[in-house]
């Protein structure tokens, strides 16, 4: 079993609507560990770096404008298959296509106000984490229920 780290951001619409607590609760109840978390307002340069893969798309300016419009909550989440697991919890990018029970299916309003951003690969996670967090800002503590969530497989005697 290998634990992964991924990046999750609650966007300005999620923060302004008071959804931070519910989103954090869902993450922790699922068994993921929050290795780092901070509220911040993203500046235009960081926003452009964060959305660099969309730089040539017509909606790039709107992305930068929205993500800099208010505070966000940036997090490093750790757990088994964290990238895929958090993506599943978030739901599809378009909220109307997200099933009930997902963050976007339950809480998001529309495509441009979809509450959260999460890394789509381990490579993206590493890049995004390094953009938002310095090494010293990430914690390596263990959850009290870690042994229950991630039991060690014992070798059978032969």
Per the CB < 8 A criterion, the answer to whether 119 and 128 are in contact is: yes
Is 54 among the residues known to form the active site? no
* C-alpha dihedral (87, 90, 95, 101), degrees to nearest 10: 120
β-partners of residue 117 are 9
Secondary structure class of 34 (helix, strand, coil): strand
Q: How far apart are CA 51 and CA 108, in angstroms?
A: 20
Options 54, 117, 134, 146, the catalytic residue = 117
Which positions are annotated as active-site residues? 117
């Amino acid at each position: 079993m290998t634990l992964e780290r991924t990046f999750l951001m609650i966007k300005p619409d999620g923060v302004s609507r008071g959804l931070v607590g519910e989103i954090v609760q869902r993450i922790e109840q699922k068994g993921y560990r929050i290795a780092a978390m901070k509220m911040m307002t993203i500046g235009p340069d960081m926003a452009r770096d964060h959305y660099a893969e969309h730089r040539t798309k017509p909606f790039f300016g709107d992305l930068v404008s929205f993500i800099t419009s208010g505070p966000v909550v940036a997090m490093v989440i750790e757990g088994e298959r964290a990238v895929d697991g958090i993506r599943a919890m978030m739901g599809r990018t378009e909220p109307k296509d997200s099933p009930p029970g997902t963050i976007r299916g339950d809480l998001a309003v529309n495509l441009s106000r979809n509450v959260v951003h999460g890394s789509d690969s381990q490579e993206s996670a590493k890049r995004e984490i390094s953009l938002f967090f310095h090494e010293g800002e990430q914690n390596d503590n263990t959850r009290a229920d870690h042994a229950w969530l991630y039991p060690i497989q014992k070798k059978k005697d032969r």
